[in-house]
Amino acid sequence: MTAGTALRDLAVAAIALIVLIAVPFFVHSPAFLDFIIRVAAMALFATSLNLLVGGTGLVSFGHGMFYGLGAYAFALLMQRTELSLAAAAAATLVIGAVAGLAVGAVCIRLRAIYFAFVTLAMQMLFYSIIITWQSLTGGDQGLQGGIPRRVLFGFDLNSQLHLYVLSSVVMVLGLLVLRHVSASPLGATLRMIRDNEPRTAFLGITIWRAKLTAFVIAAVFASLGGILAALFVSGAYPELANWPISGQAIFAVMLGGISTFLGPLAGAAILLALGDAVTRVTEYTGLVLGLVILFVTLGLRRGVLDVLMEALRRRRAPLARPATPKAAE
Amino acid sequence: MDLDALGQCVTTASCLVTQTTSGLIAGLLLFLVAAGLTLIFGVLKVVNFAHGTFYMLGGYIAFTTLQVTGSYTLAVLAGGAGMAVFGVFFERVLIARVYGQDVLMQLLVCYAVVLIFDDVVKMVWGADFLAMGMPPAFQVPPLFIAGGIVPPFYAVLIGIALVIAIALAAALGRTRAGKTVLAAAQNPSMVSALGINTDRLFALVFAIGAGLAGLGGALAAPVRSLTPGMGFSVLIDSFIVTVIGGMGSIGGALLAAVGIGLIRGFGTIGFPTFTDGLIYAAMIIVLLLRPTGLFGREVI
Amino acid sequence: MSLQVEHLTKRFGGLAAITDVTLDFPTGSLTAIIGPNGAGKSTFFNLISGAFRPDSGRVLLDGEDVTGHSRGDIVRHGIGRAFQVASIFPTMTVAENLMVAVAAHRGQWAGLGRRFPPAGARARAMEVAELVGLADVADTLSAHLSHGDQKLLDIALALALEPTVLLLDEPTAGMGPEERWQMIERVQRLWERQKLTLVFIEHDMDIVFRVAQTIRVLCYGRVLAEGDAEAIRTNQAVIDAYLGTEQHAA
């Protein structure tokens, strides 16, 4: 991981953004624009989750709480205060960070399985609060009233096209930042923790600090995804904070591949496309999704991009040195 | 939040009796389900995220059995036994392939089963709430204890649940198979080194665990409504029981389960929409103050 | 740097793993710890390196009390440790393994500002790789290394932290006879070059008698005997408890 790859990432991001922005000029498909906006929200959410899962070995099953928090906080700030869209978004990210700090402080020290379940319980607590606090959140009806002042730097986000461009920009920039985190010394430390936590402690590293930092960063970017989701649905509804959304993100990560950075993005896109296709055919989306999950987890055992990367790597590099004992010098 | 109503209830004998019994019911049923979850986790080190599905299917099977045969006894047996068989099938076909793998894989496989069977139930029984209703044998006048209304079914239910709990403790502690299961919970590798057929042991453990959940579902069916997806809250509650009671402690699980049941019982009066929240909050507080759970030995 | 332990005791439940162990490891010494399985040798290392807290007793580094300090803190004081089963980072190459260790040593493990690896980390990592003879497999995935190379990497990870005291837990474990001598000779050369205070656990008595300056025998968590090779070889208690009737060539 050298400075060279930083430039490569930037180039890839720039090309992706240019392509995304160019598409609507050639293809007139509102469905496509909608799809990309939804993928943007989900991709940020799933990639932030993978910072924890694939990057640190922390399997959080309640990450959806930050996604939902982002949506509700942003929508409420827009409805109830006079903040501009940019200011409300910034404030939402701060709220996400604080929430990440609070939840992380409780959960970080728990062992793997307990971590997964307690984060889920935390999310369910948050969901209960959303459902119960009707005066604030609209309860199970969701937040009515839409999002006012949908204007950002001259973009009128009431236009689907403008929201599409904003989502594309936010997604690319957001993923770029997450990529930078992953490639930073902190990212390397997180991978050490994932590989061999005891040894990492024996190298003098304060494990809980690294994990908590990762948790907070992941919370912030999940909230960012939530903001996009709120803009898309013009409000917020409880399903954005309920447990299936966490399950979907976990599956998106697994489906796309936990070992590649863009895996979660691919997984999110595939999952959303699959969901759309299935709903057209049957109402039993759970059944189909469940069968697909079984196929991928038990059959492929790895994500789509993982399989691709492995095939590429095997073609490029020959096998490692044969294992012979080293001769003394 | 309605603290006045809560205060009133606690000071009125009739209300106290009614809510306490219903809380006890909820707690004991939860204990049955949670015991199954703890067993599976203790021996197999697998989090059975699909445990709630066993509970749900147990309830639905009992419902249909009652409709077909008219016998509640048969319905309960069908729920428990049916789930025991299903548990073996689930373990052999699916779980056996993810032993020793990432928690992620195990969670995903279980989550897939939850999704599949939530829809299967929808297909077979429909998506609406189903009420089993009180079985004919129990359609008798309620008992009046200190002015509180206690349906005789509740009393029977408490009795059955206690009997099962005691039988479980005895079976685990005194029979050879049971002691093997407990030993495996302490030291799984040792058990296989001793030449015990771990395949059969694991299948047995899953059968017991799933059977307990199915029993819980079947016993709860007359007093709860059946709906697809009902297994999820039971799953979370079961896990909270394990966390609060402490890993590996049946006594702790019993206490925690009854505690949660009572919180629900009185919570519906004082905090009708936030009862769930209360329970999650309780778990978080216990974790912060006592990381091993109330009676557990290892830090969670 | 010198290492002393005084009246170190550790119990696990009802089991006394280490009882009243007092030992002195002068600066620059080369000591072997031997004893039957279950004697508490690895527990001893765990107590010194901060993985466990002793129930009583003290651990002193150059006179400074580090008893019960965290693993990280003890590492920063200069105690390095290698493990019986090589404890490495399998998804990373040899070079990456050492670079993260170097970065950790330099306190550069939480940075978000620039890319990894930080400047100079690779150069230093290659130096360390050179020390243990792994320079030419630097870009091999550590999971693909031979068993012996993984043990070397394990030691290298400890060396990357520039320790003054090095604890090696069975450095030759799992190796054939020839490989074992190669390993222990490499360890000896490291000891000389890096001026370390080195303590190693070992089961191969030939190696122990040939290499160690001082030998300490642990049995049932207590120090049974200490001395040089000749003293230990002829110590009746040690023979009864551990050496048996094996004859060892001089």
- Domain segments of chain B as ranges: 3-289
pLDDT band, very low/low/confident/very high, at C205 (cuts 50, 70, 90): confident
Helix, strand, or coil (residue C28): coil
Strand partners, B144: B149
The pLDDT of residue A253: 93
Per-residue pLDDT in tens (0 to 9) along chain B, 300 residues: 677 777 777 777 777 888 888 888 889 999 999 988 888 887 787 888 899 999 999 999 999 998 888 888 888 899 999 999 999 999 999 888 888 777 788 888 999 999 999 999 999 998 888 888 777 777 777 777 766 677 788 888 888 888 888 888 787 777 877 777 777 766 666 776 777 777 888 888 899 999 999 999 999 888 888 888 888 889 988 988 888 887 666 778 888 999 999 888 888 777 777 788 888 888 878 877 776 667 665 554
Cα C171 to Cα C85: distance, rounded to the nearest angstrom? 9
Please name the residue of chain A whose CA is at the shortest distance from the CA of residue B298. Answer: A111
State the DSSP H helix or E strand holding residue B40, giving kind and residue range, or none if neither.
Answer: helix B13-44
Q: How close, in Å, is residue B105 to chain A by CA atoms?
A: 6
How large is the average pLDDT for residues A230-245? 91
Radius of gyration of chain C measured on its C-alpha atoms: 18
Cα B175 to Cα B103: distance, rounded to the nearest angstrom? 32
Residue A182, judged by CB atoms within 10 A of its CB (0-12, 13-18, 19+), counts as buried
State the DSSP H helix or E strand holding residue C18, giving kind and residue range, or none if neither.
Answer: strand C15-25
Cα C57 to Cα C20: distance, rounded to the nearest angstrom? 8
Residue A195 contacts C, CB cutoff 8 Å: yes
Specify if C182 maps to a domain: no
The pLDDT of residue B101: 75
Q: pTM for the complete prediction?
A: 0.87
The model's pLDDT over A192-215, given as tens digits with 9 standing for 90+, comes to 999 999 999 989 889 999 999 999
Please name the residue of chain A whose CA is at the shortest distance from the CA of residue B97. Answer: A298
The pLDDT of residue A71: 96
Q: How close, in Å, is residue A291 to chain B by CA atoms?
A: 7
The model's pLDDT over A83-132, given as tens digits with 9 standing for 90+, comes to 888 999 999 999 999 999 999 998 998 877 778 878 988 998 899 889 88
Helix, strand, or coil (residue A143): strand
pLDDT over threshold 70, residue C244: no
The model's pLDDT over A10-36, given as tens digits with 9 standing for 90+, comes to 999 999 999 999 998 888 888 899 999
Whether C90 and C72 map to the same domain: the answer is no
Strand partners, C93: C141
Contacts with B243 from chain A: Cβ below 8 Å = 114, 117-118
Torsion of CA C221, C222, C226, C230, to 10 degrees: -70
The pLDDT of residue A110: 84
pLDDT over threshold 60, residue C248: no
Residue B239 contacts A, CB cutoff 8 Å: yes
Facing A293 at nearest CB: one of B108, B243, B300: B108
- State whether A294 and B109 contact (CB < 8 Å): yes
pLDDT over threshold 50, residue C249: no
Facing B276 at nearest CB: one of A122, A124, A290: A124
- State whether A325 and C148 contact (CB < 8 Å): yes
The pLDDT of residue A38: 96
Residue A317 contacts C, CB cutoff 8 Å: no
Question: How many folded domains does chain C comprise?
Answer: 2
Q: How close, in Å, is residue C87 to chain A by CA atoms?
A: 6
The model's pLDDT over B118-168, given as tens digits with 9 standing for 90+, comes to 999 999 998 888 888 777 777 777 777 766 677 788 888 888 888 888 888
Residue B282 contacts A, CB cutoff 8 Å: no
- State whether A5 and C115 contact (CB < 8 Å): yes
Residue A320 contacts C, CB cutoff 8 Å: yes
Question: Phi/psi class of residue B299: alpha, beta or left (left: φ > 0; alpha: ψ in -120 to 50)?
Answer: beta
pLDDT band, very low/low/confident/very high, at A52 (cuts 50, 70, 90): very high
Contacts with B119 from chain A: Cβ below 8 Å = 284-287, 290
Residue C110 DSSP symbol: S
Torsion of CA C145, C146, C147, C149, to 10 degrees: -70
Name the CATH topology of B3-289.
Answer: ABC transporter involved in vitamin B12 uptake, BtuC (1.10.3470)
Cα B226 to Cα B118: distance, rounded to the nearest angstrom? 12
Task: Give the domain extent around C112.
Answer: 79-162
Whether C1 and C61 map to the same domain: the answer is yes
Cα B235 to Cα B232: distance, rounded to the nearest angstrom? 5
Whether C57 and C125 map to the same domain: the answer is no
Residue C106 contacts A, CB cutoff 8 Å: no
Please name the residue of chain A whose CA is at the shortest distance from the CA of residue B291. Answer: A110
The pLDDT of residue B177: 76
Specify if C59 maps to a domain: yes
The pLDDT of residue A36: 94
Helix, strand, or coil (residue A264): helix
Residue B93 contacts A, CB cutoff 8 Å: no
Structure tokens at B126: 């429909």
Facing B103 at nearest CB: one of A113, A247, A290: A113
Q: Which chains share 3+ C-beta pairs under 8 angstroms with C?
A: A
How large is the average pLDDT for residues C109-125? 85
Contacts with C88 from chain A: Cβ below 8 Å = 196, 199
Cα B237 to Cα B224: distance, rounded to the nearest angstrom? 16
The pLDDT of residue C97: 94
- Among C179, C190, C180, C238, which Cα is nearest to C33's? C238
Specify if C237 maps to a domain: yes
Q: Phi/psi at A291 (nearest 5 deg)?
A: -65, -40
Distances (CA, A) of A166 to A91, B284, C130: 18, 39, 51
B111 compared with A321, residue with greater pLDDT: B111
- Among C114, C153, B153, B299, which Cα is nearest to A2's? C114
Between B12-26, B73-87, C60-74, C79-93, the lowest mean confidence (pLDDT) is in B12-26
How large is the average pLDDT for residues A295-301? 84
